[in-house]
Amino acid sequence: MRHLPFAIAAVAALSLPALAQPQAAKPAAAPAAKAAAIPPIAAPGRSLLSTKDVMRHIVNPAAEAFWARSGVVDDEKGANDRTPADDANWAISLDSAAQLAEAGNLLQMEGRARDPDGPWMKYAVQLTKAGLAGMAAAQAKDHDKTFDAGSAIYDACYACHGKYIPRPKDSLYKHDIDKDLEAAKKK
């Protein structure tokens, strides 16, 4: 990559930290590893994947699969109700809800629980409960319960991320998750 000195100076003046470190310092062919770091088999009962990989490969795909089969979205054809209309899709809802329910337990394992005496465990249990509600909804093939479970699943992600994924100090996203949750309860 070639650098134009005046361009660098302009970037520095705007203080964009991501660009302040010239990319050329890194070897060109080393994109950030997207693939899961595959760990050796751990001792029995010990966590294996990092929390990040549990999110990427278990929690997130399961949640996406569930959400894709719940609720009504507006698309070019109008209101599109994504609630399953056949057994094959209800089976996917059930599987993905079960994965989320059990993922709540994975998050509580030693080595993953960020803060075993703090709210981490509560949010992990919240995910399990939401997953179980999703399973019940899929078993009942119930439209409204599927939507409600999808919201409950979302709330669990949002609560834990709000508390445990640090935001940059100068983030414009300022609200306090605990206050948000209190306010939501009062509604």
Pull the structure tokens for residue 156. Answer: 């669990």
Q: Among residues 123, 132, 146, 149, which is the contact residue for ligand HEC, using CB under 6 A?
A: 123
Q: Which stretch binds ligand HEC (CB under 6 A): 41-49, 88-96, 135-143, 154-162?
A: 154-162
Token couple for 88: 């094959």
Kindly state the number of chain residues that form the binding site for ligand HEC, as judged by CB under 6 A. 20
Among 3, 26, 46, 52, binds ligand HEC (CB under 6 A): 52
Residue 123, token pair as written in the block = 């949010």
Q: Please list the residues that pair with 73 across neighbouring strands.
A: 80
Alpha helices, DSSP H, located in the chain:
5-14, 17-20, 51-54, 60-67, 87-108, 120-140, 143-164, 177-186
What is the 3-class SS of 64-77, one letter each residue? HHHHCCCCEEEECC
- Only one residue has tokens 């949002």, namely 158
Q: Does 161 bind ligand HEC (CB under 6 A)?
A: yes
Query: Nearer Cβ to ligand HEC, position 102 or 164?
Result: 164
19, 47, 51, 136: residue in contact with ligand HEC (rule CB under 6 A): 51
Residue 32 is a binding residue for ligand HEC (CB under 6 A): no
132 binds ligand HEC (CB under 6 A): no
CB of 158 to ligand HEC, least distance (A): 8
Q: Does 124 bind ligand HEC (CB under 6 A)?
A: yes
The C-alpha R_g of the chain, in whole angstroms, comes to 21
Tokens of 182: 């209190």
Residues with Cβ within 8 Å of 46's Cβ and at least 6 positions away in sequence, in order, are 109, 110, 111
Q: How far is CA 95 from the centre of its chain?
A: 17
Of 11, 19, 48, 55, which one interacts with ligand HEC (CB under 6 A)? 55
Of residues 58-97, those binding ligand HEC (CB under 6 A): 59-60, 63
Residue 116 CB, nearest approach to ligand HEC (Å)? 11
Answer yes or no: are the C-beta atoms of 31 and 23 closer than 8 Å.
no
Interaction site with ligand HEC (CB under 6 A): 51-52, 55-56, 59-60, 63, 100, 107, 120, 123-124, 127, 153, 156-157, 160-161, 164-165
